[in-house]
Chain A
Amino acid sequence: MAEILSLHDAVTRYVEDGTTVAMEGFTHLIPFAAGHEVIRQGKRDLTLVRMTPDLIYDQLIGAGCAKKVIFSWGGNPGVGSLHRLRDAVEKGWPHRVEILEHSHAAMACAFEAGAAGLPLAVLRGYVGSELPNVNDQIKFIECPFTGERLAAVPSVRPDVSIVHAQKADRAGNVLVEGIVGVQKEAVLAATHSIVTVEEIVDDLDTHPNACVIPGWAIDAIAVAEQGSLPSYAHGYYPRNNRFYKEWDAIARDRDTFTQWIEENVMNAGETA
């Protein structure tokens, strides 16, 4: 049953050093406020799972929280590189970060399989790609009915998943609307889950087949207003595309990055 906690307490309770964490949200509803709280609490050696690391993992990696990143597309969407991810992989700053790399299709299926309680996902994938040469977690099986060779990847089963959503009701039932990504899958696949929301309401006021995650499938709900900025929340605020562009210059340099984190995360209080 979802407990309504402060973001600070939710992160303290569920994110430990060494934890495998998935902070999901496909471009939309990225849980930046929660990511910042993880940075503020100085968590270390995290295995960070996310289809698109985006700025949120660029920040966590640069701040030294990550031991390993599992991902399928690690760029700044429409802008260019994630400089902190690159600096860690290419030059080992602030320390070396291990990577495990998939395609989107495989990772989406791996989240789906995790939610479905399966140990593996099977897909028509990776044909002719050299990713299986560098990722020993990509295997191939033979269909017992047709003999077709199909790719198999382990399902994603994070210790903790963190997602952001529009709203929760007082029983902790959560509505996700718009681009729903793999957020529901991330929550259902994880041992524990934290959902940050724009607001808590009396009634979700929704439609028969809405993407609602029941409160009993969630561990903690925390209110984080504008908690996905510079990403966006459908119905609440738009994506701050300008900031995504500005991030390129901020993150390119270790010092400007460190200063940005200091000013905007470390010294910014729990709402940043």
Chain B
Amino acid sequence: MFKKVLIANRGEIARRVLFTCREMEIATVAVYSDVDRRAVHVLEADQAVCLGAADPVESYLNIDKIIAAARETHAEAIHPGYGFLSENAGFAERCAKEGLVFIGPPARVINDLGDKITARNIMIKGNVPVIPGMIQSESDPAVLAEKATEIGYPVMIKASAGGGGKGIRIVNTPEELQASCEAASREASVAFGDGTIYLEKFFTRAKHIEFQILADGHGNVVHVLERECSVQRRHQKIIEETPSPSLNPELRAEMGSAAVAAAVASRYVNAGTVEFLLDENNTFYFLEVNTRLQVEHPVTEMITGIDLVRQQLEIAAGNPLILSQDDIVARGHAIECRVYAEDPANNFMPSPGKIAYMQEPTGPGIRNDCGVYSGFEVPVNYDPILSKLVVHARDRETCLPRMVMALKNYILLGIKTPIPFLIDVLESSPFQKGQIYTDFIERHFSEWQPRLVEADMARIAFIVDEMNANRRKKTAVLSEQTVSTPFATLGGWRL
């Protein structure tokens, strides 16, 4: 096993990797940008190397600097986490060239699966069902219009190099097609440096079900069950759970086999996730493979007892999988809520700022993979995830109140969070019944505002606090972050 690993990421996921490394007695090297000197991963790693300016291009996306940091600290391997360089084939290749182990799939696999069209073709050859759509990218409007008619509206425009909901457009009528294709291509171009697009059938009432896979360098492949990730806002998952309330054992086995087939077809190595779309007739289609550790990996860990980061490290070190498919058995139910610095009542606008006070929920079956702390200033420069709150209980019915309780006991002052929104979603009748589709939020919660049922208690708390105001150290009053304006409009997501 490696003696030292560099973690090329920040916040909660860097800390997550750090935990497992420490347990395996692997020394850790954190890297950080100028604004992250006080970030948890820097405080907790054995060593930390400053990369440079806040802009990711100068720090977390800067391959040369990261390689230099690994050299300087004599790290043997690099864990990329998720986001940043985790699905960058060039980075994986560079690591290999430098004699460093990239903890993830080989560059070839990242390349093949990163190009959505290539991935579709691999899956078709591997007998993995794919969504009706184009098998090559296109820029000719006439061809696109013809294909769209062939597939049948609504269609979805996707970026060939895409991921994370970027460069995606849904087109309902032929009239919108051309403008949408141009916009999507432009957005993809900005986000990925590649404006290539293609079309797929769009399913209005679909579910997003994904399977965790593990594949070693010796030809062993297993799937580690599914995750239900249909609850999304702006194509980004916010609540994930496992087992999926939509699968029965037969369908689970069938989709699990397809996930393994996808891994085999792409000659996959390390941990990955095969994403499927499940339509209302329980027919499933391959969507894409995420060639990295997934944000929502903890729900799988909770129900299987498997440490996925440890598996990644073992595989990267060349060890064979010790798990066989029969060893992988679910126990109970797990749910994850992503807690972002954002305002759920205002279109999920980011809400960076200083965390004046934080208190994490605790209790049996509660895990909070957290990247921030009281007094930490959440930087404006990166993804707004603060933590992933995960609960585990014997079944879904028990899991739901446990998560609601945990959310109510999760105190974050100084920034806005989706906590009240998440509570309302979890307590809603369609969620409780498992009627979850990718349009869940738009359908049920598009005009969501917090229910201010305890306003009178809040007024009383105000008065009591005011009467005892002198007990608190006077801190500089935080700057205004609450005014909503109709003149701010949301744009696309940047990498």
Q: A and B bound?
A: no
